[in-house]
Structure 1
Amino acid sequence: MPWYALSTLDDARRATTSLLLPVNRGRWLRLALIAFFVGGLGGGGGGGGQGAFNYSTDEVPPWTGEFPPVDTLPIRSILAAVAALVVVLALLALVFLAISSVMEFVFVDGVRTRDVRIRAPFRQHFRPGLRLFGFRVILGVLVFALVAIPIGVAIFAGVTLSPAFLLLLLPIVFFVGLLALAVGVVLQLTTDFVVPTMLVEDRTVLDAWRRVFPLLRVEWEQTALYVLVRYALAIGAAIAVGLVVVLLALVVALPFAIVGGILYFALVSTGGPGTVGLVVLGLLAALYGLAVILVSLLVQVPVVTYFRYYALFVLGEFDVTLDVVPSFRSETGE
């Protein structure tokens, strides 16, 4: 019995090479943008508020050994600011997740047709992408509830941290670990197999899962081997990408460091950086950060493309009617 998770590895490499070489700048940049959303590889700031604590020495009351009343501290303002920040970050995360869900279909469409585009496929696959987004959100909420509800009950019940409670906590931690692993596998299989099925047969997420799950169950050994190989390769690829990005970031830093150093010493020699000089240096640092991000995304392009082709080849072995890349398959001599 051929093992699909092993026999398709070289096919995925050939397909990736065929798509990415010779280098087409526009195609690589579009794939880099897609990799930003689907590659799985981002800060906020705070305001002043210093005036609330800006007392003169004459206004500071003598220490009496007691803390001032809670009403004198800006706790409500701090909590409101934290809550607002959490809401904004949550909304941004949801927007990012929605875009990445649509981009999953854009990515499959691009590697299938070898014509990598973004705007037209994004509009075309917007509705199935939102369905995938809803599935991911619902699954995340369910997992969060399974973990948060027992913890919340324990907190509101007034359970104290004792050795017996910590011992009882071990099975819960083990359960959370298994749950996180299972959900990770489900989400990965959804991306790898369910999304192409939705694309090929115009199905919803659950309907596509009903289509794919019997194949995975019948070929459970192939599925298990695929998951193991997929995650082992992902760990190795993450280490390799990280090392390459660090090395390239150092290379990219050289011209920025030279320009920044010359500019800094020129400003110091004229009496100090000043506000304008600091702004210019800040912009230079921001440009360096953007350059590093772009480099990291370009380094990710072959990796995310390879993994997507790998999944599509394995799916085609499970069921030939779900073969998204038959043209590449014929080129590999199968």
Structure 2
Amino acid sequence: MSLAALDDITDAIEATKRFLTPVDRVRWFRLAVVMFFVGGAGLSAPGAPTAGFGGDTDPADPAPGAPGGPDITPEITPELVVLILGIAALGLAAFLLYSVVGATMEFAFVAALRDEEVRLRRSVARYWRRGLRLFGFRLAVWVIGIAAAAAILLGTGAVLGGWPPTVWSDGTILTVVVLAIPVLGLGVLILGTLLGFTTVFVVPVMLAEDRGVLSAWRRFWGTLTAEPLEFLAYLVLSFLLGIGVSIAVGFLLVLLLIALAVPFLIVGAPIGVALVAAGSGTAVGGLILVLVLLYGLLVLVGALLIQVPFQTFLRYYALFVLGDVEPDFDVIPDARAAVRTDGGDGGDDHGGPAGVAAGDDGRDRPGDGDADSNGGETGADDWNVDREGRDGDDDQW
């Protein structure tokens, strides 16, 4: 018997092409905003190079704080403590806000694929409560996971070397360090799978049946245990597809870095030389700073746009598998019907399927508005929105 996880790869590709072509700049840039919170930019910060390589044999000046050197030890004052705590609080607040918005954007992403339209402002207003619940679930999973790993490692150390850890011998410390490798590796694998399934499978269940995170997990668990081979195949294939996507994104990102660097060098280098010749060192520094910031911004936007088709494909793939395994959880009936009827080529100008109405499959589509007990929202979400005039509809943001 053929597995949906195998067959749905082609369908996901066709659905992605149907959703993203012909290219609509507004849609792509809105999806790029979603990618900033959901898919990331695919960037990593390189390590800072170390200094100290030189052939100078002259005696070095005394290091700061060393005998004979300047004493630059900062004085711990109440003002300094307040400043440090304030910076830490702002950083924590920014991280929490980003995480909550990111959780909310998971619902916005699925809703965009479902409705075949991207409405950011409307989605945030509609799904922020669910985003809070998803964020709380993610946070609880990480806290429990870290606590469990710490308990295993500290418990092992306590059995071997006693308590507190300051009395552990070198052998006990080495044993705990060696044990930490498989414990942390297994923990990351379990947590990654749990949170990944929550994102790609449980979030759609929350939308399809208007449930909370735990209720949706209980509902999905029956499907997961009834068709374990399907989801095991999905897990393996999505891992392999993720590797392929990472390679493709990395290659395109390198091309982007080079393509953007060329015009910056062509324009910036002559101006910099002219400013140096004029003796304006401050202007050169300012120019370099502006060019670096502008280059970084363009790279970030370009990287997010690169992510759009790949992340859309991966999410479509998960939604196709989920809907094939359990039709009650199908949140993309239009895309499914379109790609399986005409290969995705017969849609209208706005991405809608040709001749496929929302209710043609005979199934009721539940709304996803929060009930009164969940924050006062009532009514059902529209499963098939009016897609006309999307470029000029400011409310879509």
Q: TM-score range by the shorter chain?
A: 0.7 to 0.9
Give me the TM-score of the superposition, normalised by structure 2. Answer: 0.73
Q: Does 1:217 align with 2:225?
A: yes
- Aligned partners of 2:168, 2:209: CA distance in 1, in Å? 54
Letter in 2 for 1:307: L
Secondary structure, aligned partner of 2:340? coil
Paired position in structure 2 for 1:307: 314
Q: How does 1:155-174 map to 2 (within 5 A)?
A: 156-160=164-168, 162-174=170-182
Distance 1:170-1:312 versus aligned 2 partners, 3 A rule? same
Secondary structure, aligned partner of 1:2? coil
- Aligned partners of 1:180, 1:249: CA distance in 2, in Å? 32
- Aligned partners of 1:112, 1:202: CA distance in 2, in Å? 15
- Aligned partners of 1:150, 1:81: CA distance in 2, in Å? 37
Paired position in structure 1 for 2:117: 115
Deviations 1:247-280 (A, max 9, x none): 1111111111111101101101111322x44223
Tell me how far 1:164 sits from its aligned partner. Answer: 4.5
Distance 1:255-1:217 versus aligned 2 partners, 3 A rule? same
Paired position in structure 2 for 1:32: 32
Distance 1:256-1:210 versus aligned 2 partners, 3 A rule? same
Distance 1:150-1:6 versus aligned 2 partners, 3 A rule? closer
Paired position in structure 2 for 1:245: 253
More helix by share: 1
Paired position in structure 2 for 1:144: 146
Letter in 2 for 1:319: E
- Aligned partners of 1:152, 1:91: CA distance in 2, in Å? 31
Distance 1:9-1:63 versus aligned 2 partners, 3 A rule? closer
Whether contact under 8 Å (1:264, 1:273) holds in the other structure is no
Q: How many residues align?
A: 312
Distance 1:150-1:90 versus aligned 2 partners, 3 A rule? farther
Q: Does 1:102 align with 2:112?
A: no
Secondary structure, aligned partner of 1:332? helix
Quote the RMSD (CA, aligned, Å): 2.7
Give me the TM-score of the superposition, normalised by structure 1. Answer: 0.85
Tell me how far 1:151 sits from its aligned partner. Answer: 5.8
- Aligned partners of 1:219, 1:62: CA distance in 2, in Å? 67
Whether contact under 8 Å (1:15, 1:328) holds in the other structure is yes
Whether contact under 8 Å (2:105, 2:131) holds in the other structure is yes
Distance 1:270-1:173 versus aligned 2 partners, 3 A rule? same
- Aligned partners of 1:73, 1:271: CA distance in 2, in Å? 37
- Aligned partners of 1:226, 1:112: CA distance in 2, in Å? 21
Paired position in structure 2 for 1:280: 287
Deviations 1:164-183 (A, max 9, x none): 44134433431221111000
Residue among 195, 209, 212 paired with 2:203: 195
Paired position in structure 2 for 1:52: none
Q: Which runs of 5+ in 2 are unaligned?
A: 46-60, 158-162, 342-397
Q: How does 1:13-28 map to 2 (within 5 A)?
A: 13-28=13-28
Distance 1:75-1:9 versus aligned 2 partners, 3 A rule? farther
Deviations 1:308-333 (A, max 9, x none): 10011011012101111111111222
Deviations 1:5-38 (A, max 9, x none): 1100000000000010100000000011101110
Paired position in structure 1 for 2:54: none
Letter in 2 for 1:29: F
